[in-house]
Amino acid sequence: MRLDFQLICSNGTTHDRVENIEAQIWEKFVLLSAVCGITSLTRLPIGAILSDSKCETLFHDALAETSTVGLASCGSLDPDIASKQFEFANSLPYGMRSSMLDDLERGKKLELEHVSGQVVSLGTELGIQTPVHDIVLRALHPYANGGVSV
């Protein structure tokens, strides 16, 4: 099936043309991995994380780890992406939570291996240490397949 770009846009839908989809995906993954991992690990919304100096550092380090892995995987990724995503995170509503935290609290299966697990796996392949995501992966592992609510 082929999507007709002009047809899609003809109904008034707005769009941005992306020249480098890999970099765009990494930009989103840098934020997603930190938000999912740290909100789930701490059981706190993003505002509470960013309001506590130790949690804020943990969150920033998670962003930096994924950014470092992303830069090694995708040379066209913005080298300042961790700082930019940290700034964006500070504009999010105080009570924003990740869907992974919601799943954790409901005893549902987590996307842990696809998020922090992927950061750790790629980091290992590339010789990049990812201690924050490794802790997230290990600490949440007992809940990964669901069945245990917190």
pTM for the complete prediction? 0.88
Structure confidence at residue 18 (pLDDT): 67
pLDDT single digits (tens) 78-105: 999 999 999 999 999 999 999 999 999 9
pLDDT single digits (tens) 5-33: 566 666 677 767 767 889 999 999 999 99
| Beta strand segments in the chain, E | none
Mean pLDDT confidence for 46-55: 99
Domains along the chain with CATH numbers: 21-143 (1.10.1040.10)
Structure confidence at residue 1 (pLDDT): 47
Residue partners of 21: CB distance under 8 A and separation at least 6: none
DSSP class of residue 126 equals H
